Structure formats: structure tokens, C-alpha cells
Chain A
Amino acid sequence: MKRVYHVVAIPIRIVLNTFGDHDPNGMMYVLKENEEKVKKLVKKNPFTPVDLVQPLFIRANEGDTVEIIFENKLPFHTGIHFQEAEYDVFQYDGANVGYNEDSTVAPNNKILYRLHVLKEGNYFFSDLGNVSSGEEGSNSNGLVGGLCVQSRFSWWTNPETGKVINSGQYADIHHPILPSFREYVWMFNDEMEVDDLTGNRPINHFSNQEEESFHGANYRYEPENRRQQLISEGVVCPNCEGEEVHHDSWVFGDPSTPILRGYVGDPAKIRLFHGGVKETHVFHYHVHQWFSDPSDLSSEIFDSQAISPQSHYTIQPLYGLGSLQGSFGDAVIHCHLYPHFVAGMWGMNRIFDTLQDGSQCYPNGVPIKALKPLPDRNPPPKPTKLKPGFPNFIPGKVGLKAPRPPLGIVGGRGLTELERHAAIENPRPGAVFTDPSPANAPIKEFNISLIEIPLIYNREGWHDPTGRMYVLDENIEDVCSGKKAPEPLVIHASANTCYKINFTNRLPHILDGDAFQLVTRTYEVGMHIHFVKFDVLVNDGANVGWNYDSSVLPGETIQYSYYSDVELKAWFFHDHLFPGTHQQHGVFGSGVVHPRFSNYLDSATGEEVDYGSQITVSNPLIPDYRDFALFVQDFTHLFDKNGKPLAPPPFPGSPDDPGLFGVNYKNEPLQFRLDKECDPAYSFSSFVKGDPVTPIFKAYEGDSIRIRLLQGAQEESHSFNVHGLKWLKERGDLNSKLDNQQHIGISESFTMEMHVPRSGDYLWTFETEEDLWNGLWGLIRAYDEKVPELIKLPDRADPLKQSKPLPECKGTKPPPAEDPTVIEVKGPHRCYDVVAFQTSIVYNSFGDHDPHAVIFALREDMQAIKDGRKKPEPLILRANVGDTVDVTLTSFLKQELFPFQDGIYPYPIVKEQAFYPPSLRISLHPQLIDYDVKTSAGETVGFNGDQTVGPGESRTYRWFVDSQVGACGLWDMADIRNHKSQGAFGAFIAEARGTEYLDPYTLKPVITGANVILRNPLLPDIREFVLIMHDGVRLLDKNNQVIFDPVDGILLAPPEVDEDLLDTYDQGSRGFNYRSERLINRYEEHPVLHDLFSSKAFGDPSTPLFESYVGDPVTIRLVTPAERRRSHTFHLHGHRWKFDTKDIFSRTESFVGFNVAGAASNLQLLGGAGAYSGFAGDFMYRSGNIRWDIEQGMWGIMRVFDELKKHLPKLDN
């Protein structure tokens, strides 16, 4: 079926909330039929949000052809680029790329885009006519939208009126044979320009400084600052502080942000889009869980999901609204990054239990809009006087804080009459209106308190004087007296447990002020939980909407009740009343729901325990395992031993990236790990400075282990890597791919299940440069012989008796690792001779270059590279499954060629820079393939021997390709400050057995290269394109001046760029494969924004140009070995692939999110080059981050020909 939409891009004032905060230079896509109406309404309401001012959300059905008549009424060229869709790239790309036709539109002109939507799901669209990341850019000002593609034969109606609709963020979707569902579109927006009522930048009334940047959804935000102002001015809620009532509708009424309305049990889909330009957000939705991949019932279950710019998911809450337990009330939806939450990035899902026909009112007198019941479901009961339904039975007072729940607080109140009529038959503390637990579920009781205690993070005395942590009541004394080391609380129970929690607030009323924060009254706290089933009204541990405030005052105890219906991951818990103020002090913990019938043992003594971050689990039916919980933290407020604040913000209370990092309240900064000779190569060695204070997870060789990965605080992305081990990406799915890296944002939870094949010390890291530098690493130590401090797993054989003393720290260099090549090789054997040396790399034709690069290359290519006969490229090695690979590495590093002899780079910087002189030793560490960490991990870790090489020295690593994992990162681990972002990385590709690698132009066999043909007797010829996405590069321009990217690369930059705009981890230049096509260079030559990707105007970009013919099988290997914490989205125009190449059930996507250090993925283009429809032309590959990647050069072209070219032999398929 053909569907036609007439879309207009217009300038519009976007009012973001009822306080009159607005974007005066807003831009939006709107249906032609609404254009005049919306303009009129905005004119009439200059300071009030107008419903029609929302990102454009349109719909179609799978299989439709969608025609967009696009009209541009903005004063510059714009277009619409659609992700996920198939279209003729030459005409309909919505951009001006390569040698395609320009499919952007001049002001006051029109164009037609024709799209084929082949698959149900989310189709993000945005402008590519003006990719400036600044205030003049189109995307941050709102020129984004979503096309929601439904199952075939669907139609959609307005949830309020039941009438058919053409666009809008809320729709009820109907189908002849599938359930009707509520469709809610939630689009994150960030970094929009905001003025207040007076036309000035909003000021934070507390700090008197400019407010944090805009973070919202669907062009709305509801900042804490604004609501707090009403308190401080005495309008509402006397004696309240602010954060604890930020989401309280009793005090403020409902927010301007989206409220997704439905009835208990309604099926629903949230179409989640990231329409922002910069930040990776974490979407969290209280009460509900969903499959990470809705098309795959064996995929992971999430209740928090990170999302990076221009990516998208469908969130399909399991069991419909209110989840399995049928909870009703307000379930807050928010970005879990607290500074964003506080800035206003939240809304809620309002679940009614009674029919809303438009005749009812909220407690504050605001009418409740009608809501049509879904036609295939029984309507809920009508409200009556005795049973008025949510929220009208709750005994709150408008203008005051929400009431406390009945029954929950020890010594508190019972139920009012109205509450009794609304309650379940036998209400109990924590389960009053919904009972999450079956009657006979075993009950497990925990007594938990929140306390304040100084936390010491490392041996240098870095500490948080106002640490705050959850602790079991029976351990308070031992923790406070120092008998027990403080660690985040992890409690253990099995599936089918009814949890009874007695939670006591033992915090002081006041969180003291210091260089990081102003004095704040954090007088009430709670324990909000993820994943488990509960009654949201009384047990959320939060204060949301018209619900109760389920927190307690100092000295009080509240009883909570939850139920674990199935084996879950580690569920996260934290305070929801003042998390923005104190969660970064340590207010987080976890419960792990294990398989039923498990027993939990202290790993040292074998005694039964029910808490601890490192335990041993025994089960009668499944293999026993070690269970390790790891919490990463940022915004950690630390002082050194002399009381000097470390990395303090510009002023107390600033959300501008304050503080440092931790893991389980510890860190082990590399600056303190230097040996006497100050060689960074031994920073991870325990021979030199002993074991790190960060967690060392202990196991015996052959044990199975589960790592529970969580992030406790506060705003940033982290990249967890385990060196030398791997796990299934989807734990419940044997068809899933292997991984050894995981991106994480706050509140996400991942379980990695694996076994430890050999003894040795395995390094775990949060791999990005600044994290690792500041101490986010530790070890998994696998013993080959019995040690007294570790029991064996009960179902495994006794370990060997101890025959030799354990290695000790002697303060000296580690001994060299054994030579792995003395063992005879069976089967195919492949050898690579690799060298590391310094050279200059030219990044583009404009002369941007890195004169001090450190690279790996094949020895046979070294001279040609040095002479300039061969351009440096990242080293790419390949081998086939079954191969044994010996890689001999030789160092040719020279002291004098390092630009900063103290290792302190003036730009780009990391926090807490310190003396760390460049190492002349180097190593080569691979991901995912198999090797003995004691000889071939390409790093010197723990009590393993030295595996780095000094100048003139060589060492051979032996790797086994045991699985066809495809792309693996490859990088140096000898000096993460002076080598890696300087170019010491590459990729290793594990190919199918029997594969040959051919040059695509000569068809001759090749040993390395980013562009090859894979030839295999059983498979079609495949073009393989390797893209290495990297950042943190220090580039000089043609005049040898340092390029201060990203700022130097901003198009249409304001005269003065606010320095605070930039976090440390945004610093540096970026690109693909040692190349960067920075748009600013092009703009200076030809200042026409929409032409910047055009090869007609500039010739082809310097980034890799990958050529193919229509229909050629193409696999893109995408790796991100380096370097910074900002995660990048990857997007290839006009193509899609399976999210997991190993799993045919997995979702199809046109993007890869979370490209941070250690990320690796394999993209098999569906339909081959040109996609199923076989379109020829120039397809842009690029970052999805408008701020600050595309401008700064992270883009290139995949060229697809439809006729034979002399220079490119066709594939023999």
C-alpha cells in the first residue's frame, strides 16, 4: 500500500514547560494539514506548551511504500534522512552525499522521498542539510522525528476520541488478529537552546549559575530547578527541600512532559527514539520489564536500557501495563543519568484502574481526559463514590507532599475507608493495592539501613568523607568499627522469593557541603527496586505523580514487599528521593535472584551467607558457580589524604562532570603504579606494587563464574572488558554471539556467565582511557592449586594440593612470561611478524596530521611506511577458525619521538593528569580469541609474567582461533596514556575455516588490509570492510598548530565557545582508520552547509571509500579499540543488518550503538550492497552523534555500482 504524507519543516517557538522555558529558534517537521493551526496556536500561547508542538510521529504498515512530499520553510537547505528504510539513495537520501543527487531542499522548495518500509519497528528521521552541532544546527533545535511501522493490516486511532489519526505521540493500534495496544512514542531530546520567560538563559536558583543544559523528551522537560523555585518562593509545600518532591503531582500537579495513559493490563509498546545529539541516555521505566529484543523470546530481560544518539528500540512491557502483578498508579519513566533526570528528562506511565470517560478530575481539579478502553479488552469498572479509582482514593492534600502509604511505616497509620475499598483482601505492609506474591511463596527477610560513613578508596588515602551506603543491620557495628570493609550491599535469594525488607533511615538530616556540593537536607530516603514485582503505589521507594511517598524520615523504618517471579539478573536498588544529591556517595546496592533451590556460601569459609559481592553458589541441579558483583561509579567526590578535592566542579553543586571514579567503593589509579624506573608497562603487575585494592575475584581453574555488572552512579558511559574470557551476549540463547565487552550506563544490569579455562590472572577493566587511568580495573584470579582462602566449588573435584608458594610482590620487575611457542602446533599454523614504531600519520587532504603516532605494522611494510611509500593504516590481521596464530612483536619505539616526556599531554587531557613517562615497551592484546593469559594476553597483569617488549626485543604470542567471532579489537596494554590514542591499535578478524583473503582490485591473496574479498569453498565471495572507529586523537593542522577538537571543528560556532561545554572525554579529534574528514576544513573552502558531504564539491573524503556492486555480499567489521568514554553511534545509510549475526531471530537495525573502547561488531548487510531493493549510489557511513562527531570527521562513503567498472573486478558468485 502507498501512504503519502506532506511534511513541512518550519521554524517554531518551542515552549518546553509551563514555566515558559522555550527554544526561540525551534524547528520542527509538521504535517501540512497542521501547519497553519500550530503556527496560530503558538502565536496565541507564547509561554505555554502547545500540544501540536511535538516531534513529528507518523505511521505506516510493514510492506508499505511511503511517499513524503517534503517542503522546506527554513532559511537553509534541509532534508529528511530516514533510517531503517530502503530507498533509492541516489534520489531520496535526504542528504547530499558523494556523487548522489542532492536530496536536500532549498528554502521554499519541495521534494519527494519514496521509502520502502520492509519491517515493523522504529524508523528515526532527521535533517542532514545542516549538521552543525551548535545553536544554529537543525537537529538540536528539533528537526527530528519518527516513523512507526506497524504489523501489516494495522490501523490507528486517537486514544481519547477513538477517531483515526494521521500523526501524534499517542495512538491506539488495532489489528484484525493481533491484540490492540497503546503506542507511546518517547523521543529523547538533548542540548536544545533554552531561554527563560525573560529571554535569558535559565539560572539555577540555588547556585545562581546558569542551568544545566536541556535534557527532555518530546520537546518537553520539567526541571527540578523550576519546581524547587515554587517551594523557595513559598508557593507550595512548606519545609520541602526539592529533589524529594520533584516528581510529586500532589505538590505541583502533573508535569509538562509526556504522561503515557492506559488501563491495567493494556498491551503497550513504547517506541523509544534518541533524537538528541550528544549524550547516551539510559531509559528506565518503573515497575516494568521487557525483552531487549522483542522479536526474540530468549533475549535478555531489561528494565533499564542505554540508548545512544540516533538509535532506537521498541519497548514492549511484559504482561502489559502494570506488569505481571497488575500494579496501577504512576510509574515514572526517566533517563537514569541523574543530572539529566534532575534537569527534567522524565515523564510517567499513568495506569488507571477505573474507566475514564472525561467526567472525572484529578485531586487538584484538573479534568482527567477521556481514555477509550482498547476494543478487544473488557473495560475497567466505572468509578463510584466508594471506589473512585486511582488517584482519588489517596488521602493527599494538594500543594503538600504526597501522603505516606498506609501500613508500611512501623508505628504508622492504617487504612482510610476509601483506601480499604481500593485495597486487596488482605493488605500488608508494602502490598496494599496489589499483591505481587503468590500466597505460598517462601519469605526472606532482610533488615537494611542506610548509613553515612567515610569511605577510603585506595592506599593513597583518596576518600569520600561523606560516603553513604546500604548495610545489613547486623553488620552496622562491624562496618562502622572497621572490622568489615565497606562494600556495596549485595543480597542473595532465589527465584520465587517473597522479600520482606525492613528499611531504616539512619542518615543524618543534612548532607554537608564541600567543594563539590552545597549543604543539602536529605532528610528522607527510601529503597527503590528494579526488576522485582511490587505494588507501585506504596512500595516504589519513591515519590511519583499521585502515588504515595514511600520513603521514611531519619530513625524511621518502613517495610517493603517484593516478589522475584523468575531467576533474574542482579536487581539494582537505590534511593529515589535524593539520588541526584547523594547516590554518587555510594547509595546503591543489588539483590541477585539466583536459580531456585540454590545455596549461598562464603567463598573463604564455606559458611552459609545471604549477602556479599563475592560468594559461591551451590545448586542441586545446575553446575555450582562463583558469583561476583561489580558496581562502577562516576561523579565520585574524592579528597586526597590532605583533604584536597580531586577533580572538583567549577563551583559547588555544578553538575559539570565533578569528581572521579570508583568500582565497589575502590580505585587503583595508574599514576601510583609506576616501578622505580617509572615504566608504565608494569602498571598492572602485582610483582611491582602488589595487588590492586579493587576487587580480585577468586576461582579455581575450570570454575564457572557469573559476573553481575552494575553501574551505581551517576552520569556517564563505561565500557566493561574482561581480557581473556568471553560470554554469550544473550545469556539465555545459545545462538547468541560471544562477547567480552559490555557498555553500561547507570542502573543497567548485566550477567556474564562464563568459565575460567586456565589458571592465571585475568584483567577486567573499564577500558576507556580516563576510567582506566583513574583506577577502574582489577583481576579475576584463577588458581591451579588449593589455597586456604578459597573453598572449591562443591560439585567439582578437589584442586591439586599446594606444591609451590604463591607469588609475592617484591617491588621488582615481573619475570618474563614463558615462551608459548615451545609446544608443537597441531593443525593450521599462521605466523605474523609485527613491529611497533613511531611515524607521522596524515589524517586528511587538508594536512591535519599526528606527527607522533605509534603504530603496529607488518615488518615487511615498515620501511615503505617510514619512507612515505605506503600510507599508515591500522594493522588488520586475519586467521581462520582452527588456526594457531603466532604473532611476533618487536618494538622500535624511540624515546625522543614521544612529544611529552613526562606523559602529561596538554591536550587532550584526562582527569588527575600525572607523571607517567612514555614506555618504550609495547604489547599486543587481542579480544575474544583464545590464549593462555600467562603467556599470550599481550599485557603484563597481576602475577602473570612480563609480555611486553622493549626496544629491539621480540616476543611471540600464541593465539587459537576457537570460534568464528569475526571482529576483535587489538591494542597495546603497555602504556595506555602514551600509545593507544596515538594509534597503537588495530583489529584481528576470526574468519570461517578455509577462507582466503584477496585484494579486491587485484584478486591476489593479501596478508592485511581493511578492504578484502573473503573466498571460501562453501560460502559466497564476501566483501569485508573493516572500520576502526576511534577518538581522543591529538592532531596538528597543516601549520602544526594543535587542533582543539571538538571545538575547532564546530560549524557555525558562536564567537565564544563555553569551555564548560566540554567534558574531558569529549576532547580530541576522531575518525575512522587513522583518517578524519573534518567538515570545517571543507566549509572553509566552500561554505555551503548542505554540500559538505558532496564529492562533486570536494572530491571523495579521506576516510576509507569502500566499493562494491549491487547485491555483493558485504560484511562490515566494526571495532572501537580507543579511547574515550563518550559513546558513538554508527549508522550506514540505506542498509540494515541483524543485531546479532549469530541469531536469525534477532532484530534488524541500521545502527550500532555504544561504540566505546572494546566494542566490536559484525554487520552482514541484509540483501548485500544496495540492500534488498538493490540500489546503487553513495551510502554514507557515519557516527549518529551530531555533537561532536560528524562535523569532526567521523564519516565516509560506501559506494555501490550498478555497472561494471574497470578497476573493480566483480565477485565470482
Chain B
Amino acid sequence: MNSLFTIFLGMVLIDNFILSKFLGLCPFFGVSKKLSNAVSMGTAVTLVMVIASIATSVIYNYILIPYKVEFMNIIIYILVIAALVQIVEIVIKRTNIVLYNALGIYLPLITTNCAVLGVTLINAQNNYSLVQSIISALGGGLGFTLILIIMSAIREKNELADTPKSMQGLPIAFIIASLLSLAFMGFNGLL
């Protein structure tokens, strides 16, 4: 059952990062007000997740396991992710200024996004190989982007609705997320 396609589909639809694992909620509620921001944020997260998964998977499989220091993975992962985000930011700034301007402030914010650390820990927990890790990160990132886009489209419309005063803003966003999560539970029987 651990084929690449199963991992990918599972990460996008069934174990969706936002709706069923509750990872990356802060950026989710922060930037899901406008569609254009949602696309930029989703792209940035997916990119960093894939790169971080490659790096941490290599470190885990070829350094931590042979030397039997798997318990050090939390400290090492968070440092690797922080460093990677910096490097990615510099590289994008030098090579593709259009993309850099589009991603803007979202890149540095990603270090503390629990979805990135989450995907690397899930990879380690399931003992995924390098290729499996990349696929799971890609699936997770795309799932994150998908929900971000759906959510921002709904919230743009919701701005015009007459919401009770105490429900405005975050509470109604949580209710929308709950309905989305309910809808996505329908994918549970897919695999």
C-alpha cells in the first residue's frame, strides 16, 4: 500500500495538513483573505517543504540512523529548516526577482510554520526513503495550497455577507474550515 501514488493522494486529500492534521494554521488564517496572497503563500510553502524534505531525509537516512542518534532529529531539523529558508530566499532573490517579489514576506515566515517541520517528522516517523519523502512533501504542499485557495475564495465572498458581530473575522473562518473539513472527510474511503 506504500506506493508513491498512495502517499501522494493521501497527503493531498485524506491526511490534509490543514483540515485533518491542523498543521500550518497560523499562516492559513493569516493569508487566506485574498486569493493572490493564497497562491503565493502556497507556492512558497510547497517549495520549502520539498527542499526541506530532501535535506532532512538525506540527513536522517545517511547520518542519524547509521550513527544511532535519531533522537537528535528535532534540533537538527529545525536548524536545517531555518538555514534552508535563508538560502532559498537568497537564491530566489538573485535568480528570479519576479518570483521573489511575489513571495515577498512569506518566505521568512515559513521557518516557524509547523507544516514544514511536520512533514519532515512524518517522513522520519514512517521511515520514508528519499523519493517517498519528496512525494509526501509535494502532496502535503499541494494539499495545503489547495485548501488555502478554496478558503480564500470563500472568504472573499464572505466579506460581503452580514455576519453577527462576535462571529466576524476568525470565528466565522473557523466555521468555514470546519465545513471544509467535514466535506474532505468524504475522501476517507478513497484508498
| Chain B associates with chain A | no
Interface of A toward B, CB cutoff 8 Å: none
